[in-house]
Amino acid sequence: MDNFATDIKKYLEKIFGNTIDEASERQIYQALMVITRDRLAEKRFESNKKLKESQQKRVYYMSMEFLVGKTLRNNLYNLGYEDEIKHFLAKHGFSLERIYNIEPDPGLGNGGLGRLASCYMDALTSNDYPIMGFSILYEFGIFKQVISDGWQQEYPDNWLDLGRYGLLYRNDEEIEVKFYGNTKEEWSSEGLHIRYEDYTAIKAEPYDLFISGYDSDTVNVLRLWKSKATGGFNMKLFEKGEYSKSLESEAIAESISKLLYPADDNDNGKALRIKQQYFFTSASLQQIVKNHYDTYMTLDNFAEKVVIHINDTHPSMCIPELMRILMDEYEYSWDKAWSITTKTFAYTNHTIMAEALEKWSVDLFQPILPRIYTIIREINNRFCKWCNDIGAAGELDEMSIIHNNVIRMANLCIVSSYSVNGVSMLHTEILKKDTFKSFNRIYPGKFINVTNGIAHRRWLGQANPELTRYLNKLLGVDFIKDLSSIDKLLEYQDDKAVLEDLENIKNIKKLQLAEYIKSSTAIKVDTNSIFDVQIKRLHEYKRQLLNALHIIYLYRMIKFNGLKPYPRTFIFSAKASSGYVMAKNIIKLICSISEIIEADPIVREYIKVVFLEDYRVSLAEKIIPAANVSEQISQAGKEASGTGNMKLMLNGAVTLGTMDGANVEIHNAVGQDNIFIFGLSSEEVEELFKNDYRAIDYYNNNQDIKETIDFMRTLDNGHTNFNYIADYLVSTDPYMCLADFESYKNTQKIVEDTYQDKGKWNKMSLVNIAKSGIFSADRATKEYVEKIWKIEKIK
Ligand code: B1H
């Protein structure tokens, strides 16, 4: 450690010509980032050496998204340097907390899917498993959200400005990726050979982010590819004074890794998105194959040493890309290449929402990736023929990979992978019984479940040090190392003193959040009120609108009917996809309600609404420890799993939710008495849907709904009214907010009554913390290791 302090001083002298006492916070930040990265690089060298020697099987995790969160705190925490550096800096008048705040969140993802990938990298590294992640070095991550007059505005997120110090550029491992052009088939005595001509080549530059483990010797790598023009800029044009034209091809090449698509649960931005997907999967596959070949001088044993995991369908072009490399570059026959390929890939499905199941039109796809297209077509032809042979031709409408001139990427993944998994028990059941029913019949055993998990070291250890310290002392077990041991807390469920301590810690976290709320919205919230939290992407199926509708109901009842509920603060935070009009309207509605309530001296004594802008990992870390109620109110059958529900539970919030996704398993874990469940089940939703759901009937037949929606139409604060949303609710209401309203309202009342019984509430909260062990990413990744990947720890 002395070393680390010396390194900081040396860096400051060398780079800035400053002593530590002359340095700025910004300079200290840079020093800490670079030194930490270099320490990890050294550690990585050691663990890589062991890995090379053992020649063991490795996992490559492909994902368009990794929401890594801030790295500095995580790395110092994991390396065990945090306390010492804090003291060292304090001696020189610096606060480590303020330095942490300088680091931008690398927003290389949209929501749960991207955060899951990062939780898994963290957990696998802590448990010494060899995994390497691959993705894109987006120059601009998820947009920065600013709320202006209640409307979401998107601004570019220039995270690399300060974020780049954690990255290591590996210029020795650049790779070329080819687009467009034509393929020619050439037959010779040795068989078919494919010539690829007139293509456009793009350079892929690798940048490595080191992933540290907690109390472990292992360091893994997340490799992020940046796109560059192969030829640089056009000097001839530049000399002629045609400056912008001379830079054109460079700009086009760089556009591929320019921006993360702000899409969650829907696919848009077609052509560029195809290029992004192929760009990073091709670069990654070429590198994986090359590494393997350099080690073993053959690819015959590829599937024995390599697992490639596909995080949703976005990286599915890995599959035809491996076929291409094996056949076109290493001269494997189709059958041999196919045999290797189908033993290499495992695929996780994250959604059954139709609009999120990726499909590409052949007309768009084929010109961009001509060779990849012919391979997919051939996979499809052979698959269709096989289905004919086994008597499954009748189900090809559902199963074929190419259908009506559209490529269905999920079908490609299912046909080509040896394992397909859903992310919660309910989700996997729906995949097997409904979405991919025929596939499940022809591939018995291929579909399995691995319920999601979360990195508790970040979401408890780092986000809630107060609770962590307390539990450490109380339980005397190392639950940070092994979260399952946290169930020892159950022994204290009737211990008054412990329950009060937990309540006090919650209050400390509520106070901290209240300060943040005041600084960011100017709203003063009462920390004695119930902190009721709904934080996640804004999507209709997640039903922030149901929550808002209930708040409008309360508002009306307080204002006109003398209702005096126990005080509650409704906290929202959510980004909407930039082209998603209804989602943006819902944000506007929530912000308007917030404003209207703030202006009402009576109502604001009871309820407050806060919308915190720019939801991101570091904001979640502030909100989650302070929550009392965790709103998980998606329409049953729609949320594949959810992971925010687990993070909130771990921090002692009680779930108010539908029987959807992982809520079902939270319900199983804590039992009926420690969760608030409401609403239709997924079967009931299906049934109602089949019988032509008519929202208007609920409006006509339920006085509260009628009055609430009528009242919503009068909520006109100057220039906006909400007729648009009201009309939508009574006419279509695709996610059945009205069908679940009555049940939601009644359950909210039970939540309110229960909260006032402090003893009872605190016990519920304790049971939630104690039962959260199974939702650790350590458990989830262990299941991947044992059921799917079959890999060993690095020795
Ligand atoms: C999840 C997505 C997703 N499922 C398309 N699907 C995207 C789909 O950019 N796109 O086009 C981006 C993301 N994300 C989420 O995955 C589920 O909705 C959650 O329920 C689940 O917890 C999470 C992790 O499994």
What residue's CA is closest to ligand 1, atom 22?
642
Atom of ligand 1 nearest to the CA of 267: 11
409 lines ligand 1 (CB under 6 A): no
Q: How many A from CA of 352 to the centre of ligand 1?
A: 10
| Residue 326 confidence (pLDDT) | 98
| Residue 266 confidence (pLDDT) | 61
Residue 348 in any domain: the answer is yes
Among candidate residues 481, 504, 477, 507, the one with its CA nearest the CA of residue 489: 477
Residue 318 in any domain: the answer is yes
Which residues participate in catalysis according to the annotation?
A: 350, 536-537, 542, 643, 647
Q: How many A from CA of 114 to the centre of ligand 1?
A: 8
Q: How many A from CA of 566 to the centre of ligand 1?
A: 36
112 lines ligand 1 (CB under 6 A): yes
Q: Where are the beta strands (DSSP E) in 63-174?
A: 131-136, 144-148, 151-155, 167-169
| Residue 185 confidence (pLDDT) | 83
How much of the chain is helix, strand and coil, in % rounded to 5?
Answer: 55, 15, 30
Among candidate residues 279, 273, 245, the one with its CA nearest the CA of residue 259: 273
CATH at 593 = 3.40.50.2000
645 lines ligand 1 (CB under 6 A): no
262 lines ligand 1 (CB under 6 A): no
- Show the domain range for 314: 55-70+105-452+782-788
Residue 361 in any domain: the answer is yes
Q: How many A from CA of 786 to the centre of ligand 1?
A: 24
Containing H/E element for 360? strand 359-361
User: What are the DSSP calls for 452-480, one per residue?
Assistant: --B-HIIIIIIT-HHHHHHHHHHH-S-TT
Considering the domain architecture, whether residues 446 and 538 belong to the same structural domain is answered as: no
Query: What's the average model confidence in pLDDT over 61-87?
Result: 95
Atom of ligand 1 nearest to the CA of 640: 20
pLDDT digits (tens, 9 = 90+) for 548-568: 999 999 999 999 999 999 999
Helix axes of 544-561 and 737-756: crossing angle, nearest 10 degrees: 60
**pLDDT at residue 762 above 80?**
yes
**pLDDT at residue 108 above 80?**
yes
What residue's CA is closest to ligand 1, atom 8?
265
356 lines ligand 1 (CB under 6 A): yes
Give 617's Cβ-side CA count (13 Å radius).
31
Instruction: List Cβ neighbours of 17 (8 Å cut-off, separation of 6 or more).
Output: none
What residue's CA is closest to ligand 1, atom 19?
642
Considering the domain architecture, whether residues 445 and 567 belong to the same structural domain is answered as: no
Residue 362 in any domain: the answer is yes
Considering the domain architecture, whether residues 540 and 680 belong to the same structural domain is answered as: yes
Query: What's the average model confidence in pLDDT over 179-190?
Result: 85
Residue 314 in any domain: the answer is yes
The two three-digit tokens of residue 678, written as one number: 């409401």
Considering the domain architecture, whether residues 257 and 354 belong to the same structural domain is answered as: yes
What residue's CA is closest to ligand 1, atom 14?
113
pLDDT class for 363, splitting at 50, 70, 90?
A: very high
Considering the domain architecture, whether residues 187 and 288 belong to the same structural domain is answered as: yes
User: What are the DSSP calls for 82-100, one per residue?
Assistant: HHHHHHHHHHTT--HHHHH
Q: How many A from CA of 617 to the centre of ligand 1?
A: 16
What is residue 720's three-state secondary structure?
coil
Containing H/E element for 532? strand 530-535
Q: What percent of the chain has pLDDT over 90?
A: 91
- Check: CB of residue 90 under 8 Å from CB of residue 98: no
Q: How many A from CA of 108 to the centre of ligand 1?
A: 14
637 lines ligand 1 (CB under 6 A): no
| Residue 1 confidence (pLDDT) | 47
For the whole model, what pTM was predicted?
0.97
Considering the domain architecture, whether residues 443 and 548 belong to the same structural domain is answered as: no
Considering the domain architecture, whether residues 423 and 538 belong to the same structural domain is answered as: no
Considering the domain architecture, whether residues 403 and 551 belong to the same structural domain is answered as: no
Among candidate residues 442, 443, 448, the one with its CA nearest the CA of residue 420: 448
Instruction: List Cβ neighbours of 166 (8 Å cut-off, separation of 6 or more).
Output: 33, 36, 37, 71, 72, 209, 210
350 lines ligand 1 (CB under 6 A): yes
pLDDT digits (tens, 9 = 90+) for 130-153: 999 999 999 999 999 999 999 999
Give the single-character DSSP code of 104. Answer: P
Considering the domain architecture, whether residues 395 and 535 belong to the same structural domain is answered as: no
Residue 515 in any domain: the answer is no
| Residue 245 confidence (pLDDT) | 87
CB-count exposure of residue 85 (10 Å: 0-12, 13-18, 19+): buried
Distance CA 712, CA 686 (A): 29
Among candidate residues 278, 152, 166, 36, the one with its CA nearest the CA of residue 538: 152
Instruction: List Cβ neighbours of 648 (8 Å cut-off, separation of 6 or more).
Output: 533, 624, 627, 630, 655
Considering the domain architecture, whether residues 569 and 658 belong to the same structural domain is answered as: yes
**pLDDT at residue 267 above 80?**
no
Please give the single-letter amino acid code of residue 679: G
What residue's CA is closest to ligand 1, atom 13?
264
pLDDT digits (tens, 9 = 90+) for 664-689: 999 999 999 999 999 999 999 999 99
- The β-bridge partners of 448 are 421
Distance CA 606, CA 558 (A): 8
Q: For all residues of the chain together, what is the average pLDDT?
A: 96
**pLDDT at residue 268 above 70?**
no
Give the single-character DSSP code of 329. Answer: I
Considering the domain architecture, whether residues 556 and 438 belong to the same structural domain is answered as: no
| Dihedral pair phi/psi, residue 634, rounded to 5° | -60, 155
With the C-alpha atoms ordered 608, 614, 617, 622, is the resulting torsion angle positive or negative? negative
Q: How many A from CA of 514 to the centre of ligand 1?
A: 30
> Of 65, 113, 266, 310, which is best to mutate to test ligand 1, by the most ligand atoms within 8 angstroms of its C-beta?
113
Residue 513 in any domain: the answer is no
> Of 115, 138, 270, 350, which is best to mutate to test ligand 1, by the most ligand atoms within 8 angstroms of its C-beta?
350
Considering the domain architecture, whether residues 626 and 711 belong to the same structural domain is answered as: yes
Lowest mean pLDDT among 239-253, 501-515, 580-594, 619-633: 239-253
**pLDDT at residue 191 above 70?**
yes
Distance CA 123, CA 777 (A): 6
Helix axes of 737-756 and 758-770: crossing angle, nearest 10 degrees: 110
The total number of structural domains that make up the chain: 2
User: What are the DSSP calls for 380-429, one per residue?
Assistant: HHHHHHHHHHTT-GGGHHHH-SEETTEEEHHHHHHHH-SEEEESSHHHHH
Residue 92 in any domain: the answer is no
Query: What's the average model confidence in pLDDT over 80-88?
Result: 93
pLDDT digits (tens, 9 = 90+) for 287-317: 999 999 999 999 999 999 999 999 999 999 9
